Amino acid sequence: MITINILDFCLFISILAIWGVLIVNVILTIAGYTYYLRWTRRPKPSLAGLQEVPFVSIMVPAHNEGIVIVKTVLALLQFDYPHDRYEIIVINDNSSDNSAALLKNLQQLNPGRNLAVINTDAKTGGKGKSNALNIGLKRAKGSVISIYDADNTPEHGALRYLVAELMSNAEYGAVIGKFRTRNKSATLLTRFINVETLSYQWMAQAGRQQLFHLGTIPGTNYVIRRSLLERVGGWDVKALAEDTEISFRIYQLGYRIGFQPHAVTWEQEPQTLDVWFHQRTRWVKGNIYVIVKNAGKLFTRAGRHIRFDLLYFLAIYFLLMVALILSDTVFVLSVAGVVHSNLVGFSNSLWLAAILTFILSTYLTITTEKSEMTLSNLFVICGMYIVYSQMWLAVAAHGMVGYIREQVFHQQAKWYKTKRYK
């Protein structure tokens, strides 16, 4: 058995890092709950006061989405937004399944609607979501652009709420809505994702709005001014996390991103570990790309609007990841008797306190959805800290290694297609 003083120091730093991120998330949760209480007293946004309802182009990038695309398009056709003031453009991006035939049939069944389909091939398409969106933008006619993923089932009023919120404030460059898990009861994994969505999408977005007037585009269920897209040259084709990347550029142009929780969409989430792992790895690599791309602006005037998000992402993907790996390693080695740290007992006490803090703060977030306030979800939250958080740690480490490997060997990042379910 050996005693290493530097081990105690490293463990102490890792404890500070873990608790620092945890406290920030608790603050965001409390602020988000405050936002939620204020939001419930606000009237729903309305198009009634507008001189002219803006024409909206809804774009749906779709690669081999035959399993879900019909349900999505039908939901978009049923929006209560004036039917002559929006169009739907599906970018059938180099699909090899029956998507083209299904979409053609939908066009034939809805001849009076503005439903367009762009079928790309291996030469023009198949290069990721950003490329597909840029292709669709060239065909779009709207002054407002709306994006929905191919697995979404938005509620009838979602588009109306998003556009009304966007038009209510000239400072808004984009407005995002809330998304929920459509298949939350499928597996234990989707139950984890359901709670994660409520905690880190709904409540964290609300907290950042409350404290910093910040929001991050989630990739679906949002609207953005066409003029902004044209100013920035569309979506970055190198970005796997095109939603985060475009959010940063909106802020650097001096605009804000609004959040309208009345605009709800239901989306399908991964039901198996391998699909989840590949999807989340893409998210990690995409967000690291955004961090590296904007890191030089961290302490500049041009980067003041994105400073909090940059620091937060740096803490999550670098500081927290290293701290968790270090603390877990020390814990395992100390149990095995390989090393001894004087802080192990102190660390274990803080670990238990962190679990309790995580459970309480996360449960607070799901109280905003009365149907989620169940005893089973309380057990799900307990399992999330012990199991799901460690899964995310593995994803973060794998994504980091993958990103570094791609940069060292000058490899093009590949877009992973998330599997869909009936």
From first to last of the 422 residues of the chain, give the pLDDT tens digit.
444 467 777 778 888 888 888 899 999 999 999 999 999 999 999 999 899 999 999 999 999 999 999 999 999 999 999 999 999 999 999 999 999 999 999 999 999 899 999 999 999 998 999 999 999 999 999 999 999 999 999 999 999 999 999 999 999 999 999 999 999 999 999 999 999 999 887 898 999 999 999 899 999 999 999 999 999 999 999 999 999 999 999 999 999 999 999 999 999 999 999 999 999 999 999 999 999 999 999 888 888 889 999 999 888 888 888 888 887 777 777 767 776 767 666 666 777 888 899 999 999 999 999 899 999 999 999 999 889 988 988 998 999 999 999 999 888 777 778 889 88
Residue 203: CB atoms within 10 A of its CB come to: 26
The number of helix segments (H) and strand segments (E) in the chain equals 15, 10
Residue spans of the domains in the chain: they are 53-272
For residues 164 and 419, give the distance between their C-alpha atoms in angstroms, rounded to a whole number. Answer: 33
398 Cβ neighbours under 8 A, 6+ residues apart: 277, 281, 284
**E strand or H helix at 361, and its extent?**
helix 344-366
Q: Can you give the pLDDT at residue 2?
A: 45
Question: What is the residue type of 412?
Answer: Q
Phi then psi dihedrals of residue 128, to 5 deg: 105, 170
Q: Can you give the pLDDT at residue 3?
A: 47
Reduced to 3 DSSP states, what percent helix, strand and coil does the chain have, rounded to the nearest 5?
60, 15, 30
Q: Can you give the pLDDT at residue 337?
A: 73
Q: Please give the sequence-ordered ranges of beta strands (E in DSSP) within 70-148, or none if there are none.
A: 86-93, 115-120, 144-147
Residue with tokens 């309305």: 46
Q: Is 154 exposed, middle or buried (0-12, 13-18, 19+ CB in 10 A)?
A: buried
Structural contact between residues 167 and 269, judged by C-beta atoms closer than 8 angstroms: no
Residue with tokens 């599997």: 419
CATH fold of 53-272, please?
Spore Coat Polysaccharide Biosynthesis Protein SpsA; Chain A (3.90.550)
